[in-house]
Chains A and B, each alone.
Chain A
Amino acid sequence: MMETKIEEQEGKFLVCLKGEMDTASALEAEKNLQPLYKTGGKDVIIDCEGLEYIASSGLRILFSILKGVKAGGGRVVMRHVNDDIKDVFKLTGFIDLFDFE
């Protein structure tokens, strides 16, 4: 199971993801993250400090957020991504799509 938390700070969205984001968790998480699909040009910072696992459905959600933010002129920044998760980003080519901090 996983936790999702969204805060709005200084005109930016801060998202914290924790736990394992498998296919079932992703379904739950998507409901929470829905508002980020349309941010109206605001940047989104996704903090993955507690994220241990991500399946392709999780990636799909992140990708949907990215598409929406980019279309609005904002950017998506990934923070504190661990190496295992980064490997998955590499395998899928997502590493080049997102900005990492």
Chain B
Amino acid sequence: MKKLSDWLRKRSVLIVITLAALLLQMISAIQYRYVRGLLEEELEKTAFRDLMASALRIQEVTSKAEVGACSQLWHIERHLQDPDYMTLLLKNLVKGESDNIIGAGIGFKPGFYPSKGWLYEPYARQYGDSVAVTQIASDKHDYTQKDLYQAAMKGDTLKWTAPYLDAEGAKDVVISYGLPIRDEHGEPVGLLSVDLSTDWVGEVVNMHHINPSSFSLVMSEDGELVATPDDSVASLSLVKKIVAMVNDSTVEREMKANGRVTGFAFYDEERQEPGHVYYAIKKNQPRWQMVMVCYDKEVYGKLDDMLKYIMWMALAGLVVLGIIIQLFVRSHRRLQATQMEQERIGSELRIAKDIQQQMLPHVNECGELQNEPMNIARNDLRVYGSLVPAREVGGDLFDFFLRDEKLFFCIGDVSGKGVPSAMLMAVTHSLFRSASMHENNPARMMQVINQTSCHGNEANMFVTLFIGVLDLPTGRLRYCNAGHDMPMILASDGTTISSLDAKPNLPVGVFDHVKYEMRESMLTPRSMLFLYTDGLTEARDPQRHFFGLERAKTVLRNAAHDGQPQQLLQAMTDAVNQFVEDAEPSDDLTMMAIWYAPQQEQDVLSETLTLKNDVHQIETLSDFVKDITRRLNMEKKQARNVQLAVEEAVVNVMNYAYPIESEGTITIDAKSDGQWLKFIISDEGVAFDPTATLQVDTTLKVEDRPIGGLGIHLVRKLMDSVNYERVDGKNVLTLRKRIEGNEKDLK
């Protein structure tokens, strides 16, 4: 069933065209029949009119002869006593108006003129212009035996005879008309006969043809041939055949009698084509049958031709129509496929957009920042970022997160736009996350990202990237710039805007062995760091003017003084939208703002202990820590945790900062503002960042667990924050613990 419907759908155009062709054929067949019927009717009428016209012409001739005969009869009956006058009258009759009378004679009652003998029949015959009268009666030619004579003697009204060969008088094939001659008593005494040659009948019937091949003929009432067409038009055999057919056509006798035309179809074997015979009977004497023959080809030929033309043209039209429909259907299908493809791509892009937006740090419905590993609420820092892609997906990225007491952040712009850029953006984002996991040095992060990006970068795409690491306790900002726009810093006075000083390294992804350089800067309290991509400065209004750095600075000055990065970015976005008006966005617009405002601490406690790198000094350390926790009235369990954490941190330094067997010192500063207890452990050993080591996987089985890494793991778990900085050739590790309202529940 499915196959059939598939087949039908595939062949739908063919089926429609075939149906249309069939319908067209049906219509033209009906039309043909109708028109042919009309033509037939018309032909019948024309045939009848023609036949009647010929009949009328014949009637004209015979009537003239009849009238001539009648007028002479009057004279003859008044001068019967004078035989010589009879011959004169005959001459007059023949000479008279009707040229078609070739002869006339009077057959007298035997012995009417004794002087003329028993049988007497004077006959006048025309020979050219002269007329000769002879007595034609003889023993051989006994006119009294003739039907015409005998009828006259009975006083009958005479008819025209059928054509016959008059051997004595006219010496030709004639038709005769006779009138009885009566004496003063009204008794018939003779027969006046007028002979007409049949040649003129032939002329009359050959005079006119409906079509070139059609012809007419005349038959007597009894079915004998009176006049034939020329041999050139119709052969004698054909004529005879038609005569026979007309005589056989007894079906319509009644119609013949009614003087209507009758017709029948026939097939001409000689010409090998069908034709029609029409015939009608003449109303007056002689009651001849007028016959007309015409051929279908000549009558309907044009109609047939027309039908053929129409058929061919219709077929050609349908074929053209079919091709057009097919083309249309194909292009329509292509269009449909394209539309579906576009919808699919569109929906994929929407999903990609969502994925991309989810990747970035963002504020959820509850107003909490998502995608942030550490959820420590800090009062010294506010960060906000926004990314508005020009298309569904963008090639810009920004990211930030807190690790220990450091803010890691980056902003970047992938060359190009659209999906390829978005893919590279996602890769770069992931690379940043993984590179910053155990690394505090932005230049080294950049190095790792660059090397990975260059590997297999066949598309030669690159990323301008700025990576910063802000140490929150000190405000030290370490950063590395790979070809990105330099961030701006709005100082605490709210007006001074400075740009970070940085070596503009090559963008990421260009060469794999680029040496990235790190710079340092101290961020003063209550300053706003503003990062952006060129989508900001290069936003264009409808007149193609750039938004530019100055406008950005103005907005920065006006909107940043409250220390609200989100409001600043909103103000900046509004300013750009207002500037751009309804112009097409040319590039992704990405911005990030960092508000840094460290709190001044009032120390209620400050102690320092200096140790040698010898584990046997741990007891001294323990006493030192115990003393401090006791002074701060920390509860026993928390005090123990702090003690353990500090011991682990210090032992870690003892083990790694100084080479084995070498001597060194470790300084431990303990400070507290009453709320927080802070230990700053510093040494002058080799640079070593314990926070950058891999986290211990506590879920592994005995066999799989490595033995090391437990110390720093415990420090992280026991303290609220751990922070490492390399400052002035010293390793500085800061541990912080909130004294009251300890929120961290130990598992």
Contacts and interface: CB of A to CB of B under 8 A. Distances in A.
A59 B618 contact: no
A67 interface: yes
Interface stretch (B111-119, B311-319, B644-652): B644-652
Interface string A73-101: 00000000000100110111100110000
Contacts of A88: 644, 714
Contact of A56 (B640, B702, B703, B710): B710
B615 A91 contact: no
A55 B615 CA distance: 12
A23 B647 contact: yes
B139 to A, nearest CB: 166
Contacts of A47: none
A37 interface: no
Given A22-B618, A55-B648, A92 B698 contact: yes
A17 interface: no
30 contacts: A20-B622, A22-B618, A22-B619, A22-B622, A23-B615, A23-B618, A24-B616, A24-B617, A24-B618, A24-B619, A53-B644, A55-B648, A55-B651, A56-B711, A56-B713, A56-B714, A63-B705, A70-B703, A84-B637, A84-B640, A87-B637, A90-B746, A91-B718, A92-B696, A92-B710, A92-B713, A92-B714, A93-B698, A93-B700, A96-B699
Nearest to B708: A60
Contacts of B697: 93
A22 B647 contact: yes
A45 B710 CA distance: 23
Interface of B: 615-619, 622, 637, 640, 643-644, 647-648, 651, 696-703, 705, 707, 710-711, 713-714, 717-718, 746-747
A83 B556 CA distance: 55
Contacts of B698: 92-93
A53 B714 contact: no
B618 A66 contact: no
Interface of A: 20, 22-24, 27, 53, 55-57, 59-60, 63-64, 66-67, 70, 84, 87-88, 90-93, 96-97
Given A22-B647, A56-B648, A91-B714, A97 B702 contact: yes
A70 B703 CA distance: 9
A73 B616 CA distance: 36
A88 B718 CA distance: 9
Which residue, of B615, B619, B702, has the highest number of chain A Cβ atoms within 10 A?
B702
Given A55-B644, A92-B698, A92-B714, A87 B746 contact: yes
Given A23-B647, A55-B647, A93 B640 contact: no
Contacts of B696: 92-93
Nearest to B699: A93
A14 to B, nearest CB: 21
Contact of A53 (B616, B617, B640, B700): B640
Contacts of A53: 640, 643-644
B707 A60 contact: yes
Contacts of A66: 702
A63 B707 contact: yes
Nearest to B710: A56
A55 B648 CA distance: 7
Nearest to A55: B647
Contacts of B616: 24
A24 B710 contact: no
Cβ-closest 3 pairs across A and B: A93-B698, A56-B710, A56-B711
Contacts of B747: 87, 90-91
